[in-house]
Amino acid sequence: MAGCMKMKNGFTSLFMISMCLLLISSPKTSGQRGAVSGNNRLPVTDLQDGEESVVSGSNRFCYKNSVVPSWRQTWTRIQVKVWSSNVFKVQMAEGEEELQELERFSVWSWMQSLLRERQNETTINIGLFSKKTCFKIDPAGETSFTVKALRSEWEPHMDSR
């Protein structure tokens, strides 16, 4: 009788391991959450320097760097500040296509979302030589949050050290 129980536990373990491997190895776009199929693209808000936007719910944003960097912009810092009264998650993407891919459900993206930190204030640093940086803000519920893009330039003659 004890040998039969060990065999049942062995089959259960083997079944669970094979199911986990099947889920992990499934294609990243196995199902869809939302309407991202074909030409049905979700709206993306373009951020402008100094512009403040107050929005609620899950939203997608892109910052396009319109200034071609030269030696004068070496010390320029571009940041997007996001804050809210409640917590939210931030997902970064390299472009609009990858941003749209974030809407598709996969087991891997679901597991990553469980590990992603929730916060109520964050600063996203934008690379000076990056032409376009995109991200998705996913707040808890329909909480409103504020997004503001800032470009600050350090001027050496203003530093009094």
pTM greater than 0.75 (yes/no):
no
At 91-102, the pLDDT tens digits run 888 878 777 777
List, as one string, the DSSP characters of the chain: -HHHHHHHHHHHHHHHHHHHHHHHHS-TTSEESSS-STT-PPP-EEE-BT-EEEEESSEEEEEE--SPP-GGGTTEEEEEEEEEEEEEEEEEESSHHHHHHTTEE-HHHHHHHHHSPPEEEEEEEEPTT-SEEEEEEEESTT-EEEEEEEEEE--GGG---
Domain positions in the chain: 31-154
Assign domain 31-154 one CATH number from 2.60.120, 1.10.10, 3.30.310, 4.10.280: 2.60.120
At 63-118, the pLDDT tens digits run 998 888 888 877 888 999 999 999 998 988 887 877 777 777 677 767 766 777 78
Question: Taking 80 as the threshold, does the pLDDT of residue 141 lie above it?
Answer: yes
